[in-house]
Amino acid sequence: MRLGTVALTGAAGNIGSAVREALRSEARRLILLDRAPLRAEADNEDVRTVDLRDPAAVESALAGADQVLHLGGIPDEAPLADLLDVNVLGTQHVLEAARRTGIARVVLASSNRVTGFYPVGHLTTPQDPVRPDGLYGVSKAAVEALGRLYADKFGLSVICLRIGSFEPAPTEPRHLATWLSPRDAVGYVLAALTAPPIVRFATGYAVSANTRRFWATPDPAVLDYAPVDNAEPHAADIRDADLPADPSAPQAGPYARPEFTLPHLRP
């Protein structure tokens, strides 16, 4: 086993469920946290029902962990007050618990949506300034900023994964660029959890090796994982996949439209 005790927040979510089995076989002990009830499926699993908005409960649940994979939160567009409450404050509670209990590594689930307004013709890197495509993207930009603060000020080792379109298989034209396969998701997570301690802070796009991708894959010196899956073999099954992409269109696709965010603003 490469890992000691790993805490996984958002363990009942789509990505949490996908990486749970892999982490179970890599970690001596796996602490699973979620608001939804869970049941242990192996002897090395410890299940805890926790609301990330409760800092004392978060600290108690993370006690004894060596690393944290923080996937919990609201996963899509929502009113800003809700996103701040759950995504931003919830992340601060996780980072503060890590600081107080001496956890060495925190891996934060960020999102490609922090840079959704860059054009399709631009290869986007973590060095580019953030350009959120909505309120959810704003909350994830704040999550990254908190990670940077705790790395710079308190010495935590923090890695932010800007997660692509996590799906069993790509189902729409945009996915041909943005798809993150379950196998590659596991690969990125394990690479982030096992990155050398010298990596104090890093941000990287978690995306499969898609021929049409418009995000740079991480520097292997920082995140040593090379994605293996490619969305292109699925193109024949996707309607309009053969239409050329507009290089000036936002990478976020429909998420960049005003109507995607307007329902979540105050009337």
Distance CA 30, CA 84 (A): 28
Q: What b/e string do you get for 58-92 counting C-beta neighbours within 10 Å, with b at 16 or more? A: bbebbeebbbbbbbbbbbebbebeebbbbbbbbbb
Q: Which secondary structure element, helix H or strand E, spans residue 107, and what is its range?
A: strand 105-111
Beta-bridge partner residues of 215:
124
Given a contact cutoff of 8 angstroms between Cβ atoms, the answer to whether 105 and 69 are in contact is no
- Decide if 225 is catalytic: no
Torsion angle of the four alpha carbons 216, 219, 220, 225, in this order, in degrees rounded to the nearest 10 = -40
Q: Write down the catalytic residue from 118, 136, 205, 255.
A: 136
Distance CA 99, CA 20 (A): 24
Distance CA 121, CA 241 (A): 17
The amino acid at residue 43 is D
Q: Give the residue carrying structure tokens 């034209």.
A: 173
Distance CA 32, CA 11 (A): 6
Active-site positions read: 136
